[in-house]
Structure 1
Amino acid sequence: MSGINWTALIILIALFGLVTVMGFMATRWRRPTDMESLDEWGLGGRSFGTWITWFLLGGDLYTAYTFVAVPAAMFALGSVAGFFAVPYTIVLYPIIFIFMSRLWSVSHRHGYVTTADFVRGRYDSRPLSLAVAVTGFLATMPYIALQLVGIQAVLEVVGLGGGSNWLVKDAPLFIAFALLAAYTYSSGLRAPAVIAFVKDTLIYLVIIVAVIYLPSKVGGWDAIFGAAEEKMTTPNPTTGKVPGAFVPGSEQMWAYATLALGSALALFMYPHSITASLSSNSRNTIRRNASILPAYSFVLGLLALLGWVAIAAGTQPIGLDGEPNAQLVIPQLFEDMFPSWFAGVAFAAIAIGALVPAAIMSIAAANTFTRNIYKEWIKPNATPKEEAKVSKLVSLVVKGFALIFVLALDKQNAINFQLLGGIWILQTFPAIVFGLYTRWFHRWALLVGWAVGMVYGTVTAYNVVNPATGNHFGGSLASIPGIAQMGYIAMTAFVINLVIAAVLSLVFNAMKVSNGHDETIKGDYFADAGDPRVEKLDVGPHETTASP
């Protein structure tokens, strides 16, 4: 096994082993008398305070793939493809501050575990609830797979993954998957909550050291920006086109703006984002986190610039197959520029950074399936204990699917499907967020708008062809109808969705078509911890928890 960086590998294994032990021990942390319910296994007892929630949300939203893909995009394509992630996370937090506390209140008031639970109660519509649930479930699948892609990138750079025997080549990934599956099954959401402390500490340490140490090794920031500008403005001798943009031009403004806004609107529609939020112990915990989470945006900005540091350093991200792979640029930069022992710490930060979001995502997807498909459509009389059992099993299936996805498909396909997931999940925004404030939108209008947005977004994304490979789903940008500018497909689909929902709502409301029974009341959206109406009772997802 020549070519293995043994020092880095040993440190990676040691830190990975540490968090694995922590994952299994998490079942004893704040352990309730009974873990056999979605409230306890899937939401951590809804008891996490400000700092635990902050680490959990940070570990959930800033994934291993974030730390691999954002600088890789900066390295290969420039600021439009990579740096938009920084303003979108800044735009995101005021949005969370405004609506997420309302979702927390009504969810705790009625025992909702998922956004589809809320939609079911608010609109009295099983089809609309199913649409939200299926969308969230499907959009999460490739996202989980990409966490394994992040682990795989680290293993490849450290020297593992070579050879023709597929079992030997993928054995490390199998082991990581098995450990993740085991402690998630036993500890539920408590496992990623505990591990998130280690993950974020390592991430902050590595990035701060990197942005201080690495520029001094490549001539300073002036040399870094100069090298990036030269690369992004020099035409490719084969195609005659520049590889990307150093600073977005006027023709790229729509792409940059719609990517940032659309991503901000979509991120907290994902089931794992909602799960991490609903695990907090009060609505004010959500608001405090919306105020302090921008600290992660600062780190993300520094991380993005490491893609340009790699240009100045002359980093060559070549996979074990001998082919260039931009996704390896940050692990390769760390191995080239850091001592082996610190490279091992950096690799561990990325690998552990995959475990936290992968665990939360699998739990969230399992909760969505159990509550909104299994209980709603297959076995309505399922007990809380049975719900927890089904959710645990589904979490294993979800991770197994992600593993197969990574091993069987080309990595670029995994990336493309994750982009498609972002297009899909944004189409649930009107039913969820607008529903927190008004029932003016009609349930059938929302369903039709969702369906049209899904079809338009999927077809348009399919028609985007990667010029290098000829594959469909080759990107997330397409011409915006009416203004002939390139923009984020998800935002165009969202606008179409919203217009259709608004127009049909006018029609259905004028015709006095029934909009179902709303089981919530105004006060539900302001309830907080300690409110006598917020009680943990063994009730179904759509029964009131009001005190008599």
Structure 2
Amino acid sequence: MSFNAVTFAVFVALLLLITGMGFVASRWRRATGGNELDEWALGGRAFGPFVTWFLLGGDLYSAYTLIAVPAAVFSMGAFGFYSIPNAIVLYALGFLFLPKLVALAHRRGYVTLTDFVNDRFGSRALGLAITLTGLLATLPYLALQLVGLEVIFGSLGIGGSAATNWFLRDLPLLVAFGVLAAYTYSSGLRAPALIAFVKDGLTYVVVIAAVVVIPIRLGGFGAIFGGASDALRAGATAAAAPPNLDPAVAVNPSVYLTLALGSGMAFFLYPHAITGVFASRGAKTVRRNMSVLPVYTVLLGFVALLGVMALAAGIKPVGGNPQYAVPQLLAQMFPPWFVGLAFAAIAMSALVPAAIMAIAAGNLVSRNLYRQFARRPVSVESETRVSKVVSVLVKVGALVFVLTLDTRFALNLQLLGGIWILQTLPAVLFGLFTTRFADRRALLAGLLAGVAYGTWAAYQVKTASGAPFGGSTAVAYPLTSPIYIAISALVLNLLVTVVGSVLARAVPPTRRRERQCLQESVSVTGTPSAS
């Protein structure tokens, strides 16, 4: 796409505005004398319903959402609308389970889900598995936000695939990374929380304007759906099919259903999502937000419609990459100043969740690796410092990933991340409702079995060129229809957990346990109890 000075000027002005807000946020609503890690990583746990609404919206609806959802519709038609029931599932589950989890987090001082699992089950091995799973699932998700930024820079004509010189191609992303790292390190979670106000407001303006103006210019929704249907039937976008789902199975109802269900169940298990939830003022705040956040689902439906409009408008994406479909559609339909505003909104939709993801990764490392396995007591100041440094380092890793590898690897790893993170669900649910039935060793075995099977099943899915990790759906025995691999892995996980817990209760205690009980009896009474 060609460079436009007006578009670029509006884009830069808005990015400078939110950069200033990111640094100013360090003093926004800051309490005095509070826990330093809570202040930096969770905003003092003081965000009320209004702030939490925007923070969770900024967390949920990222640049990848605004670009990839319509790209999926553009490539495969109605299948891309799976994100709508996905959102409905996650809000319903969040309403049921998150208030209790947040109440416990405030009472017990949890910063991460690993803190919760450690407290409920007392297993360092299980806690370590939860921590590593969260980190591995978060890093490719963070990389995809930078991929979204790269698409926007390419659409502006200043970077990405629009540049032939490698330095000019990567320079905008390097600058954006530097700014993001600086204000995240300085302000912590307050920066994305404050920027989310602007980001969500601009996103609503852009999407609503698009679904009003574009249909008028294309002759109405009847003409749009007719033109999109003809384009799909003619195979106009066959070469642009995304690598993360095989079009041959994407139309299968079992894939649509299980992908929506599995993605919805997985979202609030991601470290960045739980960070936004733990930052809320309490259970009542979370319950209110889970009841009103579905309003965002209406916006998500409009976003998916942009893919249909791009088909009807005859958009030919740059390099055959469907991720450019929406930016090109906006550039074709709107004046340059509005395109600059729209591109800035999408860029903010990358920067807000990227900041939260980096903070969440830093919390996991400082809280559940550095502090938990340190040989000496760790101060809160030291813990906070490590979290800040790690938040920068994970951004560096994501940046290197995006600059050096094909973005399809990021897509494939993010698909694996969704499979992996869902395997932490049994530990969380059993921890919330019953720790007596679930054995911690069985939970660990179930998690490892689910991760191992899910990784193996995803490896078996081939791309058109025969490369592994070509998708996230496969046929799971004894089924004959393909389903989302995360769901079949979760079923195996639960089976291993339940059977392992029953066996653990059926096997008599070992002599070591008997000796431990005897020692406890002596320490209490001074004499061994009769047996």
CA offsets 1:158-211 (integer angstroms, 9 cap, x no match) = 101244432222111101000000000000000000000000000000000000
Cα gap change, 1:438/1:358 in structure 2, threshold over 3 Å: closer, same or farther? same
The residue number in structure 2 matching 1:458 is 455
The residue number in structure 1 matching 2:517 is none
The residue number in structure 1 matching 2:172 is 172
Query: In the TM superposition, what is the alpha-carbon distance from 1:470 to its structure 2 partner?
Result: 3.2
The residue number in structure 2 matching 1:124 is 122
In structure 1, the residue corresponding to 2:479 is in which secondary structure?
Answer: coil
In structure 2, the residue corresponding to 1:78 is in which secondary structure?
Answer: helix
What is the identity, as a one-letter code, of the residue corresponding to 1:132? I
What is the identity, as a one-letter code, of the residue corresponding to 1:121? D
Give yes or no for the alignment of 1:396 onto 2:395.
no
Give yes or no for the alignment of 1:10 onto 2:9.
yes
Kept after mapping to 1: 8 A contact 2:199/2:348: yes
Cα gap change, 1:513/1:49 in structure 2, threshold over 3 Å: closer, same or farther? farther
Kept after mapping to 2: 8 A contact 1:76/1:244: no
What is the identity, as a one-letter code, of the residue corresponding to 1:381? P
In structure 1, the residue corresponding to 2:47 is in which secondary structure?
Answer: coil
Cα gap change, 1:192/1:206 in structure 2, threshold over 3 Å: closer, same or farther? same
1:189-228 matches, within 5 Å, as 189-228=189-228
Kept after mapping to 2: 8 A contact 1:35/1:41: no
Out of 89, 93, 104, the residue aligned to residue 91 of structure 1 is: 89
What is the identity, as a one-letter code, of the residue corresponding to 2:65? T
CA offsets 1:6-41 (integer angstroms, 9 cap, x no match) = 111111100001000000000011123357722110
Cα gap change, 1:169/1:35 in structure 2, threshold over 3 Å: closer, same or farther? farther
CA offsets 1:195-252 (integer angstroms, 9 cap, x no match) = 000000000000000001101111211111112222333458999x9x999x999971
The residue number in structure 2 matching 1:45 is 44
Cα gap change, 1:249/1:141 in structure 2, threshold over 3 Å: closer, same or farther? closer
Cα gap change, 1:499/1:301 in structure 2, threshold over 3 Å: closer, same or farther? same
The residue number in structure 1 matching 2:521 is none
CA offsets 1:456-495 (integer angstroms, 9 cap, x no match) = 111111111111x433211111112111111101111011
Out of 427, 436, 441, the residue aligned to residue 438 of structure 2 is: 441
User: Structure 1 length as normaliser, TM-score?
Assistant: 0.89
Distance in 2 separating the partners of 1:124 and 1:345: 50
In structure 2, the residue corresponding to 1:73 is in which secondary structure?
Answer: helix
The residue number in structure 1 matching 2:525 is none
What is the identity, as a one-letter code, of the residue corresponding to 2:447? W
CA offsets 1:490-541 (integer angstroms, 9 cap, x no match) = 1110111111111111111222569x9xxxxxxxxxxxxxxxxxxxxxxxxx
Out of 422, 431, 442, the residue aligned to residue 418 of structure 2 is: 422
Give yes or no for the alignment of 1:71 onto 2:65.
no
* Structure 1 spans left out of the alignment, 5+ residues: 517-548
The residue number in structure 2 matching 1:137 is 135
The residue number in structure 1 matching 2:526 is none
Distance in 1 separating the partners of 2:44 and 2:228: 48
In structure 2, the residue corresponding to 1:482 is in which secondary structure?
Answer: coil
Query: In the TM superposition, what is the alpha-carbon distance from 1:253 to its structure 2 partner?
Result: 1.1
Distance in 1 separating the partners of 2:213 and 2:13: 25
Kept after mapping to 1: 8 A contact 2:30/2:43: no
The residue number in structure 2 matching 1:262 is 262
Out of 336, 350, 366, the residue aligned to residue 340 of structure 1 is: 336
**Aligned pair count?**
505
The residue number in structure 1 matching 2:528 is none
Q: Whose radius of gyration is greater, 1 or 2? A: 2
Give yes or no for the alignment of 1:363 onto 2:359.
yes
In structure 2, the residue corresponding to 1:84 is in which secondary structure?
Answer: helix
The residue number in structure 1 matching 2:529 is none
In structure 2, the residue corresponding to 1:413 is in which secondary structure?
Answer: helix
Query: In the TM superposition, what is the alpha-carbon distance from 1:433 to its structure 2 partner?
Result: 2.0
CA offsets 1:100-157 (integer angstroms, 9 cap, x no match) = 0111111111111111011001001000011001100110001111111111111101
Distance in 2 separating the partners of 1:45 and 1:276: 12
Moved more, 40-49 or 30-39: 30-39
The residue number in structure 2 matching 1:159 is 157
Out of 143, 147, 156, the residue aligned to residue 149 of structure 1 is: 147
Distance in 1 separating the partners of 2:176 and 2:324: 19
Kept after mapping to 2: 8 A contact 1:36/1:385: no
In structure 2, the residue corresponding to 1:382 is in which secondary structure?
Answer: coil
The residue number in structure 2 matching 1:406 is 402
The residue number in structure 1 matching 2:516 is none
The residue number in structure 1 matching 2:272 is 272
1:292-371 matches, within 5 Å, as 292-318=292-318, 323-371=319-367
Moved more, 133-142 or 473-482: 473-482
Moved more, 91-100 or 25-34: 25-34
What is the identity, as a one-letter code, of the residue corresponding to 2:498? A
Distance in 1 separating the partners of 2:143 and 2:274: 19
Distance in 1 separating the partners of 2:248 and 2:5: 42
Distance in 1 separating the partners of 2:186 and 2:472: 37
Out of 462, 485, 489, the residue aligned to residue 489 of structure 1 is: 485
1:98-113 matches, within 5 Å, as 98-113=96-111
Kept after mapping to 2: 8 A contact 1:64/1:150: yes
Identity %: 50
Cα gap change, 1:49/1:236 in structure 2, threshold over 3 Å: closer, same or farther? closer
Distance in 1 separating the partners of 2:33 and 2:158: 41
Distance in 2 separating the partners of 1:347 and 1:250: 29
User: Structure 2 length as normaliser, TM-score?
Assistant: 0.92
Distance in 1 separating the partners of 2:432 and 2:169: 49
1:16-35 matches, within 5 Å, as 16-33=15-32
Distance in 2 separating the partners of 1:491 and 1:315: 35
Cα gap change, 1:244/1:272 in structure 2, threshold over 3 Å: closer, same or farther? closer
Distance in 1 separating the partners of 2:75 and 2:347: 22
- Hey, which of these two has a bigger chunk of helix by percent? 2
Kept after mapping to 2: 8 A contact 1:251/1:485: no
